[in-house]
Every structure is written in C-alpha cells, then in structure tokens.
Amino acid sequence: MVPTAPSTAQSTGRLTASSGAGASVSDVVASPALPVRLDGVSRTFPAPGAARDAQAGRTVLHGVDLEVAPGEIVAVLGPSGCGKSTLLRQVSGLDAPTGGRVTIDDGPVVGADPRTAVAFQEPRLLPWRTLTQNVALGLPPGTAKDAGRARVAQLLDLVGLATSAGLRPRQVSGGMAQRASLARALARNPGVLLLDEPFGALDALTRLRMQDLLLDVHAAQPATILLVTHDVEEALYLADRVVLLRTLADGGAARAAGSGDRADAGSGDRAASIARIVDVPGDRPRDRAARDLAELRAELLDGLGVPTHHDR
C-alpha cells in the first residue's frame, strides 16, 4: 500500500507562540517535500582486497522495500549495527546499493543527491566559524549573497538561535549546536531530510525539547523526513510510521509483510531487512502517555528483543 501524505492538521502551531517576534510558519519558504522509494535495496561491503561488486563480503542490508510519501516522517528502529545508518546513506547518495534501486520523486539517486540533506548525531560544526557562517555552508551553490544572508537569518530565527548567531560552537550548549546543525541541513531547502540519531548525544530534557522543535520546523518547512533513532518513545512521538529493521539471524526478514524470507546463500545471516512497519495513530503533537502509544511501545521493544514484562 502506498502511504499517504500526513495531514496539515499535524502542525504543532508552537512557532509563533514560542518565538514571539521570531519566525512563523508563513514566514519560512516551504520545501518541496518529495516521495522516496526503495525497491529491493541491498548493500554488501566486499571483503578486503576484493572488487566493490564482488559477491563475497559482508551484507548489511538485504531486499529493503519502502515507500515514503511527501511530507511524511518515518522513523527507522533497529539494533545497533543492523544497517540503519547505511540505509540513510543509500537514500542520500553518499553510498550506493549493490542491489535494488532508490528513487526520489521518481528520479534515481546517483551520487550525493542535492534533493537531500543530512544531519548527524554530532553537529559537525566548524569550530572557527560562527553559527551564522556554519549555517551558510548549507546554502545551495550559487545562492545570491543577499538571499543567502536572509535565508540563514530566517533559519536561525526558526530554530531559536537568532540572538546567538555570532557565537562559535565552543560558546554554545550541545542542544544549541544541534539546532545549528539542523538549520544548516535546512539551508539547502531539501525535499528529503535525513536525520541520523540527531538527538542521541543530548541530555534527556534537551532531547525532549529538540523533538518538539523538530515538529515545529517540520510544520514550517515540511520536507519528507527519514529519522534513525534507538529511542522507541521518540519514534512514536515524532513519526507517522515506524520501520523496524531486524537481521535475518533474528528472523526479522521472515516476518516482513508480504515478502517472505528472501535470504539467499550469499546474503549472510547478519543482513537486515524490514521486519515490520507500524502506523502510529493520532495527530501530532501526541500525548506521550497515551495508552495506544504505550501498547505500541511494548510491541516495538519486543520486536527489538527487549521484554517489557518479567516473570517473578
């Protein structure tokens, strides 16, 4: 089934209330949210010394099929080392699949794709540049000087850093640095935003605030978002759907809806495939304590091999 784009009723509406004279939803140029499709995507890393297309090696992803609607937020969950980040790299074009294909808006992904932008767990800001200068690095090549300056100021306002624009990374908190990293990714005006554990290094309270900020940013600039996270509650709070990756050794591929177990002799038993895709009910912002989310949380934790009930 092809997913449908999320309703605009999911907008959080917190921007104007929280930022005062800052950016509002209507102030920010909306990005052209684009659909993403993965068809049978596999990635095998060849053994040392072997050619890139050699069959022997370590298979990380095997037969991944996924469609993401324009403007949808999809979270990717899975055990450490199962290929979540590798999956994002296939979509961004920073890496290429050894099997299958990735398309964005029906166009193939070939090489680093300008329709995408990536934000990582570490902000990766240049320490000798100000936040303004770091965000400006994300602007598309050829952006006019005045337009670029206005765009950067707009984004810094959107993420709550307007008064800190002249500071350098060492002068701001981890949460502020991550806000700047997000603004830099948005400077490209991407149709697809790829977030690789963007809040994983933050303390618990800052992480919750950043989750709300991401929803505000998505309401203002509704790119399609693929979010890698280890946090089940974060996935359920932010995403329209949650994709659970499991390795073939854990039996995950055998439970992939409609696909059966597509492992073959060359795939390796540690390759990951989609075990399950979960629709998350309710419009955003969601009640973190909602009963239906608690039930889904238990199901997803069980799918990750983490029991939520223990026999005494």
Q: What is the pLDDT of residues 145-192, one digit of tens each?
A: 999 999 999 999 999 999 999 999 999 999 999 999 999 999 999 999
- Whether 174 and 99 map to the same domain: the answer is no
Is the domain of 215 the same as that of 72?
Answer: yes
User: Do 134 and 156 sit in the same domain of this protein?
Assistant: yes
Is there a single domain that holds both residue 106 and residue 207?
A: yes
Domain count within the chain: 2
In degrees, rounded to 5, the angle at the alpha carbon of residue 175 between the alpha carbons of residues 169 and 179 is 75
For 224-245, what is each residue's pLDDT tens digit? 999 999 999 999 999 999 999 9
**pLDDT at position 257:** 38
Q: Could you tell me whether strands 73-77 and 241-247 are parallel, antiparallel, or unpaired per DSSP bridges?
A: parallel
174-187 and 204-220 helices, crossing angle to 10°: 20
Question: If you ran DSSP here, which 8-state letter would residue 160 be given?
Answer: T
Quote the CA–CA distance of 251 and 255 in Å, as a whole number. 7
Mean pLDDT score across all residues of the chain = 83
Sign of the C-alpha dihedral, residues 101, 102, 104, 108?
negative
- The answer as to whether 164 is a domain residue is yes
Same domain, 275 and 236: yes
- Whether residue 240 is contained in a domain is answered as yes
Residue span of the structural domain in which 162 resides: 125-189
Which of 142, 169, 189 is the last residue in one of the domains? 189
On the question of pLDDT at 131 being above 90, the answer is yes
Q: What is the pLDDT at residue 255? A: 43
Q: Do residues 203 and 82 both lie within one domain? A: yes
Residue 172 domain flag: yes
Instruction: Flag whether 19 is in a domain.
Output: no
43 within domain boundaries: no
Asked whether residue 48 is domain-assigned, the answer is no
Does residue 86 sit in the same domain as residue 161?
Answer: no
151 and 92 within one domain: no
Does one domain contain both 294 and 233? yes
Residues 6+ apart with CB under 8 A from 295: none
Quick: pLDDT tens for 15-66: 433 333 344 433 445 558 999 999 999 999 887 766 655 566 889 999 999 9
Same domain (yes/no): 226, 145: no
